[in-house]
Structure 1
Amino acid sequence: MKKLVWAALLSVPLWAVQEHLSLEQALDLVRQNNLEVKVAEKEVLMKEQEHKAAVGYNYGQLDLVVNALRSNDAGNVFGFKLQSREATFRDFGFSDFLGGVGQALQMANGDFGAFSQIMANPQMADQLLNTAPHDLNYPDARSHFQEKIQYRIPLYVGGKLMKYGEITDKMTTISKLDRQKVLNQKLFETRKTYYNISLVENFIKNLNQILKNVEELEDTVKNMVDEGYALDIDLLQVQTKKADVLRMINQAKLNRDLAYQYLSFLVDDTVRSIVVLDNDVPMPKMKKEEMLSRNIDIQKAHMGLEVTDLAIGVEKASFLPQVGAFAEYGSADNTFLNDFTDKDAYTFGVQLKWNLFNGFVDKAKYEKAKIQNLKMQNQVALAKKGIALQIDKIITSIKSKEYDIASLREKVKFTKKVYENYYSRYKEGLMSINDVLIKNSEQIQATLKLVKTRFERNNKVFELENIINKGIL
């Protein structure tokens, strides 16, 4: 029983295999699974986060700052005590000063007049003032814990932050256009590959019919050789033609297998078979102006122009004052969070900063931004003209291919009838086998050329759809 269960499990494929895949299903798989599309999607997400970061600067910055320090540096220890609101006269060195005053009192022997004269003595005053306060210069090491909340916010920066927010929003839109362009390219390649497989399948079908005709001709020639109405060389010629047809069928199958591998790569899944299409891709029905307006490269160029407009505003802000506000609240002590409210303190204020001169750096950047904007205007005009010319060339090529296809369809019908006529006349002994095989070759060449022209025409239509950003299914 266990062996049967294991056999059943092993018979199940480890990944899905697509059988009889329709074009709609293939396009959906590309949208969901294609790795390049996923990479482009992640780029959009990153740009969205950059936009959020740019907008976030408008709301300022709130920080919790905790300092844990220990020092015996005289300046640090004195500052620690001041911040902790614990400074005493002893910390200023008054113990040494009082010692000098006490000595003066002893010398005056309780006489206030004598004490006044002693203190007024310049030598005594110099001695007291030059006394180095030991408590101030050589304090004991002290720990210091400071906890505070700081908030800083820009009040006015010449519109720079607003422009940055708008720029990052435009850049997000550009990344979405890039994602759409990648998706369009993958859909274009998928449709192209799907239709190519269909054409190859139809070509193989036609070649198999031709092979059947050649095999029928081979049987006929064999019978005629047996009856003495044909030569062995006639049979050899037919068999050589049969080998050529088999070679073409095999080559077509190899090309089909390669196309299936590429289709599997695009949908990120194994594709074994598709629903074969026999129709050609319909020509998009759209006015030239709409085609140009839908083109992603032109949309990106317009968006880039808007970005350069905003960049001018960013550089112009450098000539304007910048105003910011600051607020801080905290407490300090030699023990962490000790007597927080008794020793708390606050600070707040506003700062104005206005650059008056920096070697004309801001002016140079401003001029560069304006030149970049003019350059982008030219690029937009160039993109429109270049893509309009590209569209015209593709449409002309499609129309030319459609005329060729109509002509080749008639030629294929004609060569088929001519071959059948020559084959009938050969059986009557009115034609040589060489004439029959020549007509057979003409039929094959006409069929091959029709397939190739349909292939080229479809590819041009797909290329046009890709350029005009046509919505697909």
Structure 2
Amino acid sequence: MTKMATKRFFALLVAGLATCSQADAATMRLSLDDALKIARERNTMLKAARAKNDQADARVVQSRQAYLPKVTLSETVMHSNDPGAVLVGKLQQESAFYDFTTNPMSPDFGDFALDKLNHPAAITDFHTSLQVQQPIYNRDAIIGGKMARSARKAQGFMTDRAAENIELNVKKAFYGLILAKKNLDATEQSIGIMQRYSGEAARGYAAGLVTKSDKLSTEVRLAELRDQKLQIQDAIRNAQDALRTMLALGPDDTVQPVGDLKVDSRLPASAASASADGRSDLKALEAFREVTGYQHDMARAQYLPRVNAFAQQNWHDSSFLGTEGSSWTIGLNVQWNIFDGMATKGKVQEAKAQALEAQYNFQAAKEQSDMEIAMSRRALVSSRERIAVTQKSLEAAKVSFDFIGEQFRTGMAMTFELLMREQAWSWAKMRLNQARYDYCIAKSELEYYSAR
């Protein structure tokens, strides 16, 4: 293979590898609704929250032990020559014998002969036991079931709030990406214009019509815009990373947002009547108040007795799972904790304090939510007013910049005047984009802080 052919081979190989690596990456054109749908389906934190729902369901299932019987099957094998164990084992196996009928004058005491009682041969006993325990009255366990159901309800509301939180963060990242791209377009537009003016300043300087200071000032402004562009590109990458994380996309996937920073022609009617009553996280706190109330009742119930019934069927045999020696037992067990060293009293006091804490947490969250709604409502109104102001400012700055630009080309305007007008125009574009972004975020936050 010639040297030229070798170079071509490696060039094709590198190009093929690059193509394969790019095949796994994808540019996804997503609207906000598309992004929200993907987040609901794929977001890892939301999946973890749903797994907590499953855990709470499992605890509800466990709480049913307060009503349902418990059935246990066991098998125990014993081999011993202990005199008491041997005698009891033979009685349980129903294999102990004696014979007084064959020779009444010389009866055969069998297993009850003194020598066999004192020095018996070892016995092997397989004990099969089937036991059923049925709760009759366990007050604390019954309350525990109610508490588990309330906790499941609270967890469901918390999962709903987790989904709403993910949706808000997706909206912030999505709108942030749109804002950064619009700012990038505005900055690149300003760079293109300033490059032309910088070129004119350079030609004027070469012709002796512009001072070196004026020529350098255009280059300084051009460097500022390029630095601003680099910062905006970082903001785009950060927004892309945030979206990729929340949508559970691959590290090389790119989101292309479809949409704009849409501003309503008038304020939404729901903005004035927004209320936090019925919000999912507040419902969760209410359910947690129920849980702490049940905890208090459950702690007090430990003062009461517990009643359980049981039934047991036993089989003893010399072989595995044998059924020769059969016996049964039924009974009733009552346990009453008369004094436990003040432990129950301390649990009651602790549960009561936890109930008060849950109540105060709910009140604090309600007050906080009212404040958040008021703040987001003000932000929505002020951002809309800012849009109107900055729109007029942008129009005026553009007219002023175009006028000074024409004056600069004819030598009738100074460089500093051009730079001042260009900065005002660029700044007005950024402020208008920011005001529109703030409106979209304020609207999203108002929906998040209000009940849906």
Q: Same fold (TM over 0.5)?
A: yes
2:450 maps to 468
Matched, 1:266 2:246: yes
Q: How does 1:157-168 map to 2 (within 5 A)?
A: 157-158=138-139, 160-168=140-148
Q: 1:16 to 1:22 in 2, by over 3 A?
A: farther
Q: How does 1:56-455 map to 2 (within 5 A)?
A: 56-89=65-98, 133-158=114-139, 160-221=140-201, 230-231=210-211, 233-270=213-250, 271-280=253-262, 286=270, 291-338=275-322, 340=323, 342-359=324-341, 361-455=343-437
Matched, 1:17 2:26: yes
Q: In 2, are the aligned partners of 1:211 and 1:242 still within 8 Å (CA)?
A: yes
Q: More displaced, 461-470 or 45-54?
A: 461-470
After TM superposition, give the deviation of residue 85 of structure 1 in Å.
1.5
Q: 5+ residue gaps in structure 1?
A: 103-130
Give distance in 2, aligned partners of 1:437 and 1:426. Answer: 10
After TM superposition, give the deviation of residue 346 of structure 1 in Å.
1.8
Give distance in 2, aligned partners of 1:251 and 1:365. Answer: 57
After TM superposition, give the deviation of residue 453 of structure 1 in Å.
4.1
Greater C-alpha Rg = 1
The percent identity for this pair of structures is 21
After TM superposition, give the deviation of residue 303 of structure 1 in Å.
0.8
Give distance in 2, aligned partners of 1:354 and 1:247. Answer: 78
Q: In 2, are the aligned partners of 1:201 and 1:276 still within 8 Å (CA)?
A: no
Q: In 2, are the aligned partners of 1:188 and 1:463 still within 8 Å (CA)?
A: yes
After TM superposition, give the deviation of residue 141 of structure 1 in Å.
0.3
1:106 maps to none
2:4 maps to none
Q: 1:150 to 1:317 in 2, by over 3 A?
A: same
Q: 1:450 to 1:57 in 2, by over 3 A?
A: same
After TM superposition, give the deviation of residue 384 of structure 1 in Å.
1.2
Q: In 2, are the aligned partners of 1:195 and 1:277 still within 8 Å (CA)?
A: no
Give distance in 2, aligned partners of 1:289 and 1:298. Answer: 18
Give distance in 1, aligned partners of 2:303 and 2:255. Answer: 66
Q: 1:287 to 1:163 in 2, by over 3 A?
A: farther
Q: In 2, are the aligned partners of 1:37 and 1:182 still within 8 Å (CA)?
A: yes
**AA in 1 matched with 2:417:** D
Could you report, residue by residue, the CA deviation over 1:139-191 in whole angstroms, capped at 9, with x for unpaired residues?
Answer: 11000011121110101123x33321121122222223333333322222221
Paired residue secondary structure (2:412): coil
Q: In 2, are the aligned partners of 1:331 and 1:344 still within 8 Å (CA)?
A: yes
Paired residue secondary structure (1:19): strand
**AA in 1 matched with 2:384:** E
Give distance in 2, aligned partners of 1:9 and 1:444. Answer: 39
Could you report, residue by residue, the CA deviation over 1:167-225 in whole angstroms, capped at 9, with x for unpaired residues?
Answer: 11222222233333333222222211111110111111122222233234345546656
**AA in 2 matched with 1:140:** A
**AA in 2 matched with 1:412:** L
Q: 1:180 to 1:236 in 2, by over 3 A?
A: same
Q: In 2, are the aligned partners of 1:184 and 1:469 still within 8 Å (CA)?
A: no
After TM superposition, give the deviation of residue 418 of structure 1 in Å.
0.8
Could you report, residue by residue, the CA deviation over 1:364-396 in whole angstroms, capped at 9, with x for unpaired residues?
Answer: 433443343233323322221222123223322
Q: TM-score, normalised by structure 1?
A: 0.80
Give distance in 2, aligned partners of 1:216 and 1:13. Answer: 37
Q: More displaced, 447-456 or 136-145?
A: 447-456
Q: TM-score, normalised by structure 2?
A: 0.83
Of the candidates 29, 41, 45, which is equivalent to residue 50 of structure 2? 41
Q: 1:23 to 1:10 in 2, by over 3 A?
A: same
Q: In 2, are the aligned partners of 1:71 and 1:141 still within 8 Å (CA)?
A: yes
Paired residue secondary structure (1:336): coil
CA RMSD of aligned residues (A): 3.4
After TM superposition, give the deviation of residue 229 of structure 1 in Å.
5.2
Q: More displaced, 399-408 or 60-69?
A: 399-408
Q: 1:86 to 1:429 in 2, by over 3 A?
A: same
**AA in 2 matched with 1:260:** Q
